[in-house]
Copies of this chain bind each other. A is one copy, B any other.
Amino acid sequence: DRPLAVIAGPCQLETLDHALTIARSMARACEAAGLGYVFKASYDKANRTSLGGRRGPGLDEGLAILGKVRQEIGCPVLTDVHAPEHCAAAAEAGVDILQIPAFLCRQTDLLLAAGRTGAAVNIKKGQFLAPWDMGPVAEKVASTGNERILLTERGVSFGYNTLVTDMRSIPQLARTGYPVVMDATHAVQQPGGLGGASGGQREFAPVLARAAVSLGIAAVFIETHEDPDNAPSDGPNMIPLDAMPALLSDLAAFDRLAKERPLRP
């Protein structure tokens, strides 16, 4: 019943300054709205639609930036890991939450390696999975003795190049006992929808965020950028940074009401 946390940041790390600017701005907006804040960014986009898509600064430089954001802004940080051998490095660099990408959410070795770090592990539900398929996925992490698990809804395949978010997933994921996160910006992606890149419907991210928050969730995940249309990845679905304060104010109001009035069993 704690207030909503906001996991937010740019899709991929660009420079230290860029990361600090966004983190500072988001931390301030979350504080104003009475919400928690976790900085999010990727050091490597390991599964871009096309080879030509930019991938980010890589593990070493990326972890260094994340460590400085954590230190300067004083917020926890989250990043996604793509190989078992990256997990320990990320945790040692102080990453608070290791995120398992949706495509990789069934890869046993990655889940075990992440669990073994003792860091929190946020598992994105694969676009090819039902909510109830996430129980066995979470158990892989929990088998390491690490129960600091979060489960993220980010849409499910619905025909070609389209995702749909099934709101029944929120209470179904919650049955596992783990906190549930709504990834509002990836859920509006149109995978591969631009031919050599993914499209997105930025305008619907607040719609899905609000609907999920009204059901009572632990956190909302939102990618944001000061200039999405010129961002190196995920531009079509990221929310402009200057639209975040108003959005967070709305979400905070729905979050308070949802926690006053939890869904009846």
Binding site for B on A (CB under 8 A): 46-51, 55, 82-83, 103-104, 106-109, 126-130, 132-133, 136, 139-140, 143, 156-162, 164-168, 170-171, 188, 191-192, 195-196, 201, 203-204, 206-208, 210-215, 243, 246-247, 250, 253-254, 257, 260-261, 263-265
What 6 A-B pairs have minimum CB-CB distances, sorted nearest first?
A: A159-B159, A130-B160, A214-B214, A157-B157, A47-B106, A211-B211
23 residue pairs A–B, Cβ–Cβ below 8 Å = A46-B107, A50-B140, A103-B103, A103-B104, A103-B107, A132-B192, A136-B192, A136-B195, A158-B159, A158-B160, A159-B159, A167-B207, A168-B188, A168-B204, A203-B265, A206-B263, A211-B211, A214-B214, A246-B264, A247-B264, A253-B257, A254-B254, A254-B257
With A and B bound together, what is the CA distance between A170 and B206 in angstroms?
12
With A and B bound together, what is the CA distance between A201 and B166 in angstroms?
13
How far does the Cβ of A76 sit from chain B's closest Cβ, in whole Å? 27
Tell whether, in the assembled complex, residue B157 and residue A127 are in contact, meaning their CB atoms are under 8 Å apart. yes
Q: Which residues from B are CB-within-8-Å of A261?
A: 250, 253-254
How far does the Cβ of A137 sit from chain B's closest Cβ, in whole Å? 8
Q: Which residues from B are CB-within-8-Å of A140?
A: 50-51
Known: A166-B165, A210-B214, A211-B215. A191 touches B129 (CB 8 A): yes
Q: Which residues from B are CB-within-8-Å of A166?
A: 158, 164-165
Q: Which residues from B are CB-within-8-Å of A167?
A: 165, 167, 207-208, 211
How far does the Cβ of A252 sit from chain B's closest Cβ, in whole Å? 10
Q: Which residues from B are CB-within-8-Å of A247?
A: 264
Tell whether, in the assembled complex, residue A171 and residue B207 are in contact, meaning their CB atoms are under 8 Å apart. yes
Q: Which residues from B are CB-within-8-Å of A215?
A: 207, 210-211
Closest to A246 in B: B264
- If A47-B106, A160-B162, A168-B204 are given as contacts, then 7 extra A-B residue pairs at C-beta distance below 8 Å, sorted by A number, are A128-B128, A133-B192, A136-B192, A168-B188, A171-B207, A206-B263, A253-B261
How far does the Cβ of A59 sit from chain B's closest Cβ, in whole Å? 12
Q: Which residues from B are CB-within-8-Å of A201?
A: 168
Tell whether, in the assembled complex, residue B191 and residue A128 are in contact, meaning their CB atoms are under 8 Å apart. yes
Tell whether, in the assembled complex, residue B103 and residue A168 are in contact, meaning their CB atoms are under 8 Å apart. no
With A and B bound together, what is the CA distance between A103 and B49 in angstroms?
14
Contact partner of A128 (CB less than 8 A), chosen from B157, B206, B250, B264, is: B157
- Which of A55, A143, A208 has most chain B Cβ within 10 Å? A208
Q: Which residues from B are CB-within-8-Å of A160?
A: 130, 156, 158-159, 162
Q: Which residues from B are CB-within-8-Å of A265?
A: 203
